[in-house]
Amino acid sequence: MKEKIELNSEAINLRKDFGEDANSPIDIFSLIHNNDDLTIVYYPMSSRVSGICIRDGKNKIIGVNSTSTYGRQRFTIAHELYHLFFREEFKSIVCSTDLEINKDPQEKEADMFASYFLAPYEALSYFIKNKLKKEKHQLEIEDVIKIEQYYGMSRQAMLWRLVNDGYISREKADTMKIGIVGSARRLGYDDQLYTPTPEDKQYATFGKYIKLAEELKGQDIISQGKYEELLLNGFRSDIVYGLDTEEDEVYD
């Protein structure tokens, strides 16, 4: 299994490849949607599954469990990026929700990579020492909430990282696994990070698949009917039927 320092380095290098620096929080959804080689599919999955990734030639597909929380979806995408960019010779991988179960080495690597991709080692260390003014083993629940909100990570992913990096003990982390939404609200934060995608938006496809459908129609390679069929198969009835029309838009 790779060392943490190597996984952190790979995470930083991929951030740079995507045009991001090594310190700032990232909008991983915008970053992924602007990548021409990736297709993202949001789909309700089993509570035991966080996501899947598929690589077929040049096609790279990330499936995200849309019933998981917004913070966990961010972690899932980062996890799948590791498989797509750093793992060789696979066609599809299904990834577990639980970060603490006994996984194979490459799944553990992907988890650690995802954590470093969202919050690089030095960036997190700087935030804790200089923003929170705390040292290891001094973090309280208020500090954990501030960190996870800043980096956009779920409570499970944040606690798992802090335990692995020696900031808090596993016993103390166990006391922070309940009352997640309420504790964040009491500090004045929105609860989006801890909630799943609304039910009416849990099926959707973005990225390369949609762009290819548009290109095929624009070049008259496929008929209007086939174009609409492809979009409907990708859960994009909003495009086919003109839902959320321009009449609802506000230019401000």
0.85 exceeded by pTM: yes
Q: What percent of the chain has pLDDT over 70?
A: 97
- Find residue 52's DSSP bridge partners: 63, 94
Cα-to-chain-centroid distance, residue 21: 17
pLDDT at res. 224: 95
Give residue-wise pLDDT tens across range 145-190.
Answer: 999 999 999 999 999 999 999 999 999 999 999 999 999 999 999 9
| Alpha helices in the chain, H assignment, sequence order | 4-17, 28-33, 70-86, 105-118, 121-126, 141-151, 155-164, 170-174, 180-186, 208-218, 224-233, 237-240
Mean of the pLDDT values across residues 55-64? 90
Mean of the pLDDT values across residues 129-135? 95
